Amino acid sequence: MTSVKICGLTDPDLVGFVAREGADWIGFNFAPGSPRRVTPQAAATLLMQVGRARPVALLVDPDDAEIDTIAALGFPVLQLHGAETPGRVAAIKARTGLEIWKVLGVAQRADLDGAAAYTAADRLLIDAKPPEGATRAGGHGQVFDWTILDHWTAPGPWMLAGGLTPGNVAAAIAATGAPAVDVASGVERIRGLKDRDLVRAFIRAAKQP
């Protein structure tokens, strides 16, 4: 069954709801400028509601001080959503011992060429490359051409993101064979605020047999 991450939660009641609906991971976004950004203080409260879901901290080019602050909150997984090099990913892995996910933004097949260099990453998250002139590294609700992934063999565990919705996630899984999917915008009606009906529909559609 496909695993599901719901990303960018900011409200404790919604965190509890997403966990009860069967999300495998819940993402908390620490990226500056994001409408989904949470502070470490707020995250400490949100973490109490995750139930059996695993919490994931989304960071963009974090320095060591930020890494240490977030690791101290007890996150088991760090999602690196910036321009972190393979060396920087390895250094963060060595510093924390945590599970590390590295995001690769893709717009063409060549964007996958660097994937194998991220040997320290425990999972690659294949996302749409941000649009030209974007001020944020992700969360744009933009789909990329899934045929880019045709005949691609991931070097390890991976996950699909980028403009997924309750309406397209089953087709995305069928087209790419993704073992796991991630969504932020596609389960919101108001930017930055998750919608319960959309969350439920997304998880059901992704996990349908």
Among 34, 55, 78, 160, binds ligand LARABZUK (CB under 6 A): 34
CB of 131 to ligand LARABZUK, least distance (A): 11
- Tell me which residue of 30, 64, 23 sits closest to 137, measured CA to CA: 30
Q: Residue 49 or 185: which CB sits closer to ligand LARABZUK? A: 185
Strand-pair partners of 93: none
Residue matched to tokens 């400490």 = 44
Shortest Cβ distance from residue 9 to ligand LARABZUK (Å)? Answer: 10
Contact code string over 83-122 relative to ligand LARABZUK, x by CB under 6 A: ----------------------------------------
Question: Tokens representing 177?
Answer: 């064979």
48 and 70 Cβ atoms separated by less than 8 Å: no
Q: Could you say which of 24, 55, 77, 81 contacts ligand LARABZUK (CB under 6 A)?
A: 81
Looking at 129, 185, 199, 206, which residue binds ligand LARABZUK (CB under 6 A)? 185
Q: Report the C-alpha gap between 11 and 35 in whole angstroms.
A: 13
Report the run of H or E that residue 124 belongs to, with start and end: strand 123-128
**By C-beta, is 16 or 162 nearer to ligand LARABZUK?**
162
For ligand LARABZUK, which is the closer residue by CB, 93 or 194?
Answer: 194
- Report the distance separating Cα 128 and Cα 152, nearest Å: 16
Neighbours of 90 (CB within 10 A): 16
Q: How far apart are CA 184 and CA 162, in angstroms?
A: 9
Q: 110 is written with which tokens?
A: 């060549």
Residue 8 in contact with ligand LARABZUK, rule: CB under 6 A:
yes
What is the binding site for ligand LARABZUK (CB under 6 A)? 7-8, 29, 31, 34-36, 58, 60, 81, 127, 136-142, 161-164, 182-186
